[in-house]
Structure 1
Amino acid sequence: MLSLSWRTIRARWSAFVGTFVALGLGVCLLATTGLTLAGTSRDAHPPIWYAGADLVVVGPDRLTVAIDTEPKTEPKTEPKTEPKTEPKKEPEPRTEPEPRTEQRNLLEPAPVPADVPARLAQVPGVVDVVPDRWVPVDLDGASLARPWSSAALRPYPLVRGTAPTAADQVVLTAPTTRRPGDRVVAQTPVGPRELTVSGVVATGPPAVYLDDAVLAGWAGGRIDAVGLRLAGAASERPTVEDRVRAAAAGLRVLSGDQRGAAEPDPDARPLADALSLLGMTATVAVFVSIFVVAGTFSFAVAQRRREFALLRTTGATPRQVRRLVLGEALAVGVLAGLAGCLLSAVTAPPFASWLVRAGFAPDGFTARFSPWPLLGAAAAGVLVALLGVWVAARRAARVRPVEALREASVDSRIMTAGRWVSGLLFLAGAGAVLAAVPAVGSADGLALTLMVALLALVATTLLAPVVVPVLIRLLGWPLRGTSGALARSSALQAVRRSTATAAPILITVGIAATVLAATATLRENERRAVQDRITASALASASGPAGLADETVAALRAAPGVRAAVPVRDTQLYVRSGDSLGEHPARYVGSGVEQVLRLPLLSGSLADLTFDAARVGAGTGSGSGSVTSPGAATGPVVGTATVAVSRSTGWRVGAELPTWLADGTPVRLRVVAVLADSLDLDGSLLLPWELAARDGPRRGADAVYLAGGALPDLAPVVAAGGGRVVGIGEHLAATTAEQDRGNRLALFAVLGMALLYTGVSIANTLFMATADRVRELAVLRLAGATSRQVLRMVGFESFLVGLLGVTLAAAVTAGMLAGLRAGLADLVTSPRIVVPWLPLGAIASCCVAVAVSAGLASAALALRTPAVHLAAVRE
């Protein structure tokens, strides 16, 4: 059958061009996203800061929480009885259920306990112990400050000046225009500090170096890493390393190239954002490629029903028909997969470069050429090709020979039981996911919106044949004349063809409309919620990584006319609730928050947000969650704090929560206030500002909400602290503009290549559909129709199919927006639906124009051959 497959491909090469194009471009789309995703992975790299250290000890980067899922039971004891003559049985030993553990990657690196350097110094074979600290600063382009002692671990010597010997001296990193003796101002977590440049080290990663005692004070005593130098021969190093691991139990001990993992990576957060964005892009790419390729192959097989009918009547068995079709799909899949992989080598680098220019990836990011994304994309292409023809091949193979000609003549029943069940299941899934979209807000709403759109579009495609005849009659009613009547009749008689040719338009317009409209709706309602929430008159924001220090906040509170100055900073918490460990967005807020924000308090009091470092115990509140090692944060509970939660968490006032901060530091939390769910709060937990000093590397506030005071009086205070202050209206306008720009670019990254691919598939499908109708067009010509009339009929039918796809997409979008509005009703006072008509109208018009152009172009090419010759075209 394989040889027959090759003969069929050669004889019907034009019919296979469409499937080859669809599959090749689909593989290219998958491989492009795969190669770009591969660029986000980072291999171990040689150390830079710790090149002079033999070992580096750092805190764990994962939180591992042991959860006892079953209560412990004591062994049963029998009541005392008279001794019996039988030998006494030993009581069965008590069995402890093994706890289940859950792990989470920490948002911030865990600190090294303060007593670890002293313990490591006692290890035989360790000759030098260098504690290292990283403090965020803003000074001459550098964002980190380190102790001068750590400079001995890096191969960058002084090129000018001397080491810092006084509290106000600093060493800069070349290249710099500063010289020893220059005075500079550094913005630090403890406020602005005027320093004197004492020296400059050779070119390396941008950092500044200060006296060890000064930096320890700035860091609040936190140690981020410990560099070790070992004595003895290389053969003795493994023994010393084992001793170090024993002394630093629960911490990571890195050697060789692994030492590079201990160094701060400024690209880590941008790469994580790029990974998230590319994950959504890959999801859309997989869905679109599968949808288009499977639909194209299924349509191509459906076009050949007469051929399969003749094979059945000449004695071909169902198994032989299936093998024939699968052999053809395999041959086309292999060739198209190879072509798509080669094309992705051209498309992946420009896409990665665009991500860098758009700000979604760090400088230097590029696609990484690895065989695995290419092999995966090619294998996926072959698999999709085989799956795409399997159902159609089974239907064609099940036709009995006596029914073969009838099966080839007219459309059979399209809506089978399996199609009904699948369509309704996808529709129910879309509704379930849509109900969760308002709860996550616009920050994570894009991912769920994409999922809703994909599920709804699959459901619509499966159920479309039910409504297609009705829509064709309604949309085709304005078409007048003979050509219009023929176009309407042709579309009605070939429902399968009309549905298949409308499917790429449905997917193109549907994805664009649902995602763009839902995202715009979420953003607008969140903006309105924020506008209603903030009662402050101005907002001061930090310009650098150090944030706005507490002394800057104090200066703002003392400014004339200021009634409240409330610092805020975003973070993340890990909370054990029941038998699971959850990640929750959180925000530290200063006292007086009720004077700058209108919070929807349901119960409790926000005035009770406090932190008590003295109340420290040996646990994390009620429950059996515990921190384990290796790979977990370590250290005692730092104290007891209170928290305000949203109603959707299910926690009530008085509940105690086992909690870990962003760097894995354990803390007790007691709920003192419950807030109503709100779109702009995104379910964030509110924490007392005093707890922020215990969470991750020390830094100031992200922003300070201000009630009262004049901007001219506030601006000098904020500028001295390394920030800027604007009126709340200007802040909201700037934030909205920036977020809208980011959303547009993100949507372009996620949808751009997919929509381009589906646009090509529209033309591809129309070419396939029209090329299969050459005999029909010839019959019209022989019946007296002119070429212009035939072209007009094809144009009308293509236009009708285009409108059909757009109408189905509009119905999906309308249903999604209706469900979204119902979900927003509980979160926003008056939810507003926003539809970006201009871009959606442009996309829909382009799709219809492509459909009409493709239909007319293929028909015009066919009509160049005399009608008599076309009528005699071999099937």
Structure 2
Amino acid sequence: MLTLAPHTLRLRWTAFAGGFVALALGVALLTVMGLALASAADAPGRAPERFAAAPVVVRGTDTLRVPTAAGVRTARLDRPRPVPAGTVAALRTLGEVTEDRSFPVRIPGESGALVGHPWSTAAFARYELTAGRAPRAAGEVVVTGGRAAPGDRLRTGHGPVRVVGTVAGRGFERAVFYPDAVAARLAPVSTQLVVAADPAAVRRAVGDRAQVLTGAARHLADPAPDRDRAAVTALNSLFGTAGGVAAFVAVFVVASTSAFTVAQRRREFGLLRTAGATPGQVRRTVYAEALLVGGAAAATGCALGGYAAPHLAARTVAGGLAPAWFTIGDHTWPYHAAFWTGLTVALCGVTAASWRAGRTRPAEALREASAEHGARTRGRLLAGTALLAAAAGTAGWALLTDPADLLHRKTYISRPMLLITAFALLAPALAGPLVRLLTWLPARLPGGLLAVLVRENATAAARRTAAVAAPVLVTVALTGSLLGATATLDAARTAEARTRTTADFVVTADGGLDAATVRRLRAVPGTAAVSATAASSVYVVEEGVALIRSAARAADPAALAATTRLPVTAGRLTDLDDGSIVVNEEWERHTVGRRVPVRLGDGTRRTLRVAAVLAVGTGDNGVYVTPANAPGAPVDRVEVTVAAGAGRAAVAAGLRAAVGGTDGRVYGAAAWLRGTAPRADGTTRLGLLLVLGIALVYAAIALAGTQVMATADRRRELAALRLAGATAPQVLGLVAVEALTAAAVGALLGVLVAALNLLGMTGALTLLSAPAAPVLPWPALGAAAGGCALTAVVFAVLPAGGAFRLQGSRRRPRPGGTGPAGVA
């Protein structure tokens, strides 16, 4: 029996082409993912950039270490602690000490902020003057790159300056160098310094009060030293998500195609059973076919993945989604993992179909009717109902226990797969009612015979309709669920921020606002309340083992209550003082009046009383403390309300005058909300597009294969329509409308799956006190459904037209003959 498998593949290659291509693409993606993960694990050590020529760098402590029952837990502090003054004095006795300072510099017309440094630190990054001289007096600067030349005057957020020199850019920053005294005034706190002394002597002088960095470890003093690790983590998440979706859709497509193929071959299997084949032999034949197709597809996918991985790595580096050093290395285990995973997927995909083939009775070989039977099997209905109940049960349990879990990306990417599988299993049972719904009105209009024929054909061939609808269901459901989830969350966050903000104006500054500027803002005539807040962090140990970091804002409670509308669920915001804290309901200990041991942003240990509790919301309702509990945090936002009867224009002008000569910017509340509205970052957007692209490609493969197989099986039916008087255009029109109807069934089911997923998210948002309406991305849904429908129609009409041409050639008189050859 197993020797029949190669012959079957040769004769029925069109029936296996779709599964082959889908599996090959899935294995290619798994190969790319594995190669990317392996290459990221071999990341080279990062060389120092700003301090490449520095002998020794001393950096304030930037890591919090907290002992717990499960061991020491660590977290990165909100900002490094300054090197103690006594330690700095001891270091000065060893050699020359150069204090490093960094601060943002904003120049109108420049995209993004530049970074300012003292000129004395330029030599440590090997900056060399290419023109002009070093800055000596206030108002003089040296800039990198070709943006300015000596003698040019620039307007910055710190006041006008004159360019007196230029240096060649180093590629890792766009710097502006000030005289050391000016830099010390703009950035009073220095958290790291360079010491020209023996490293061993420096370590003895520093002890455990700061970090001593030498050699390659000096890169820890560079800006964003963890950016490579964060980029690689995001890249791994991107490829992991794409690989998981590819594996799911590949199994889905292979299983759907195999089920339809087995249903078409029931007479063939019945003939084998009549010839004496046992059910086990028939099943083993189906498995052998899957093994041959799967092995060839897996090998092809490995080759494709090995070819595509370097190109994809280059594209991610060019797009800024991966570090410049990221390249695909020479690894072999990803090929083995992808090959055997693809082979397993192929065998798992035909499991149900093989059992169905083995249950074929010998009498099936005697059937003449092509009408389907057994499409709605009891096992299929039970499995679909069980999966539907599981999806509802898990969503309900999450709503009752942890609603925030439904808002996580890994959840709203994986949860639709359960519903998609459930509705795909139930599709044969749902196809008939949906087809009747879609054709109800057209069948009652004048000339509705076509709609009647479509209705009867589609309901009689429920398995064929479900096979066409399944890939459309996957594509539309993933499009609606993924894009709809991000859109719904963004809308909820935007609405939450709009509700929370009651100020009329918002003043922001990248590098913070000094105390004098804040005093001038408070003194502007016509203001009713001015709330100055600073960004900080608070760390707490929960459940005795987990060190949790919470974003915090430091503010005066009275001014905060006058300029914001926070969702307080217990306590009062005005009760906040230097001995208390405002937390949200996500904290383990969130009872008003309870004392909570915490670590502040600089690692200082405090025990604070809970003054008020906020709703969790979308996750942006963080912690609030007073400025005394946010040491070193500069004011970066000032919210202002206008007094009754005061002119908004006059207040705006006064605010702009107050921040004149600084980096501060004044926005109306509406403009500030628009500018800070949540938007998907580049990695998230690329990940969603990659996942949806995979779904769309697989849908096209599955639709093309299914329609080609279905049309080949309908040649007698189409010929009968021609003999009944239908013209070729009429028959092709019927085929096209049938394909369009089946695609519409899949689109409706996909929209239903997306709507159910989004309803779960909106339920979670409501429980978290951030109610929002579900946002279905109708343009994207229309594009996905339209692309699937076009594919279904094209690959239904083209084979049907080819069948007509073949039949026409057979009807032509033979050479020397006198009559038609008959109808095939």
TM tier, smaller: 0.7 to 0.9
Mapping of residues 490-569 of structure 1, within 5 Å: 490-542=457-509, 545-569=510-534
How far residue 684 of structure 1 moved from its aligned partner, in angstroms, is 1.6
Structure 2 residue corresponding to 1:715, chosen from 656, 680, 683: 656
- 1:131–1:842 distance in 2 versus 1, CA, 3 Å: same
Match of 1:647 in 2: 585
- Asked whether the equivalents of residues 87 and 206 of structure 2 are also in contact (C-alpha less than 8 Å), the reply is no
CA–CA distance in structure 2, aligned partners of residues 49 and 744 of structure 1 = 30
Mapping of residues 760-775 of structure 1, within 5 Å: 760-775=700-715
Match of 1:588 in 2: 553
Question: Percent sequence identity over matched residues?
Answer: 33
Mapping of residues 299-314 of structure 1, within 5 Å: 299-314=260-275
- 1:648–1:174 distance in 2 versus 1, CA, 3 Å: closer
- Asked whether the equivalents of residues 660 and 666 of structure 1 are also in contact (C-alpha less than 8 Å), the reply is yes
| Root-mean-square deviation (Å) | 4.9
- Asked whether the equivalents of residues 458 and 738 of structure 2 are also in contact (C-alpha less than 8 Å), the reply is yes
Structure 2 residue runs without a partner (length 5+): 812-820
SS at match of 2:570: strand
Give, as a single letter, the amino acid of the residue that structure 2 aligns with 1:579. G
Deviations 1:241-283 (A, max 9, x none): 9x95997569877665454354224855777666666665555
- 1:810–1:171 distance in 2 versus 1, CA, 3 Å: closer
Give, as a single letter, the amino acid of the residue that structure 2 aligns with 1:701. D
How far residue 176 of structure 1 moved from its aligned partner, in angstroms, is 6.2
Stretch of structure 1 that moved more, 725-734 or 251-260: 251-260
SS at match of 2:148: coil
Deviations 1:520-572 (A, max 9, x none): 34433443333333211111233xx4233343222211222223332334455
Corresponding position: 1:780 with 2:780? no
How far residue 51 of structure 1 moved from its aligned partner, in angstroms, is 2.8
Stretch of structure 1 that moved more, 59-68 or 839-848: 59-68
Corresponding position: 1:753 with 2:693? yes
Match of 2:566 in 1: 599
Match of 2:46 in 1: 45
Match of 1:672 in 2: 611
CA–CA distance in structure 1, aligned partners of residues 385 and 106 of structure 2 = 65
- 1:437–1:576 distance in 2 versus 1, CA, 3 Å: closer
Structure 2 residue corresponding to 1:336, chosen from 266, 275, 297: 297
Alignment coverage as a number of residue pairs: 786
- Asked whether the equivalents of residues 120 and 244 of structure 1 are also in contact (C-alpha less than 8 Å), the reply is no
- Asked whether the equivalents of residues 139 and 186 of structure 1 are also in contact (C-alpha less than 8 Å), the reply is yes
Match of 1:223 in 2: 191
- 1:226–1:856 distance in 2 versus 1, CA, 3 Å: same
Corresponding position: 1:488 with 2:455? yes
Deviations 1:722-781 (A, max 9, x none): 132122123334444x74898995686355423432442353243344245145436635
SS at match of 1:865: helix
Stretch of structure 1 that moved more, 850-859 or 511-520: 511-520
Stretch of structure 1 that moved more, 493-502 or 313-322: 313-322
- 1:755–1:421 distance in 2 versus 1, CA, 3 Å: closer
Mapping of residues 160-239 of structure 1, within 5 Å: 172-173=143-144, 177=148, 179=150, 187=157, 192=158, 203-204=169-170, 205=172, 206-208=174-176, 221-224=189-192, 230=198
SS at match of 2:286: helix
CA–CA distance in structure 2, aligned partners of residues 548 and 297 of structure 1 = 66
CA–CA distance in structure 2, aligned partners of residues 147 and 852 of structure 1 = 67
Structure 2 residue corresponding to 1:688, chosen from 597, 608, 626: 626
Corresponding position: 1:656 with 2:595? yes
CA–CA distance in structure 2, aligned partners of residues 445 and 582 of structure 1 = 20
SS at match of 1:654: coil
- Asked whether the equivalents of residues 504 and 758 of structure 1 are also in contact (C-alpha less than 8 Å), the reply is yes
Deviations 1:555-611 (A, max 9, x none): 211222223332334455432122342545423142211111122333333234344
Match of 1:421 in 2: 386
Match of 1:863 in 2: 804
Structure 1 residue corresponding to 2:788, chosen from 847, 866, 870: 847
Match of 1:799 in 2: 740
- Asked whether the equivalents of residues 434 and 820 of structure 1 are also in contact (C-alpha less than 8 Å), the reply is no
CA–CA distance in structure 1, aligned partners of residues 383 and 293 of structure 2 = 28
Match of 2:222 in 1: 263
- Asked whether the equivalents of residues 60 and 191 of structure 2 are also in contact (C-alpha less than 8 Å), the reply is no
CA–CA distance in structure 1, aligned partners of residues 210 and 269 of structure 2 = 68
- 1:848–1:570 distance in 2 versus 1, CA, 3 Å: farther
SS at match of 1:866: helix
Mapping of residues 790-829 of structure 1, within 5 Å: 790-826=731-767
Corresponding position: 1:136 with 2:97? no
SS at match of 2:503: coil
Give, as a single letter, the amino acid of the residue that structure 2 aligns with 1:655. R
Give, as a single letter, the amino acid of the residue that structure 1 aligns with 2:803. A
Match of 2:249 in 1: 288
CA–CA distance in structure 2, aligned partners of residues 112 and 285 of structure 1 = 49
Match of 2:25 in 1: 25
Give, as a single letter, the amino acid of the residue that structure 2 aligns with 1:385. A
SS at match of 1:682: coil
How far residue 714 of structure 1 moved from its aligned partner, in angstroms, is 1.7
How far residue 513 of structure 1 moved from its aligned partner, in angstroms, is 2.4
- Asked whether the equivalents of residues 704 and 791 of structure 2 are also in contact (C-alpha less than 8 Å), the reply is no
The alignment's TM-score, normalised by the length of structure 1, stands at 0.75
How far residue 504 of structure 1 moved from its aligned partner, in angstroms, is 0.6
- 1:657–1:276 distance in 2 versus 1, CA, 3 Å: farther
The alignment's TM-score, normalised by the length of structure 2, stands at 0.79
- 1:147–1:14 distance in 2 versus 1, CA, 3 Å: same
Stretch of structure 1 that moved more, 485-494 or 508-517: 485-494
Give, as a single letter, the amino acid of the residue that structure 1 aligns with 2:389. L
Structure 2 residue corresponding to 1:385, chosen from 342, 346, 354: 346
- 1:782–1:598 distance in 2 versus 1, CA, 3 Å: closer
- 1:793–1:309 distance in 2 versus 1, CA, 3 Å: same
Give, as a single letter, the amino acid of the residue that structure 2 aligns with 1:223. T
CA–CA distance in structure 1, aligned partners of residues 365 and 66 of structure 2 = 64
SS at match of 1:726: strand
Give, as a single letter, the amino acid of the residue that structure 2 aligns with 1:609. L
Stretch of structure 1 that moved more, 384-393 or 332-341: 332-341
Deviations 1:839-860 (A, max 9, x none): 4334333322332222222222
Give, as a single letter, the amino acid of the residue that structure 2 aligns with 1:50. F
Give, as a single letter, the amino acid of the residue that structure 1 aligns with 2:512. G
Stretch of structure 1 that moved more, 683-692 or 243-252: 243-252
- Asked whether the equivalents of residues 52 and 126 of structure 2 are also in contact (C-alpha less than 8 Å), the reply is yes
- Asked whether the equivalents of residues 770 and 859 of structure 1 are also in contact (C-alpha less than 8 Å), the reply is no
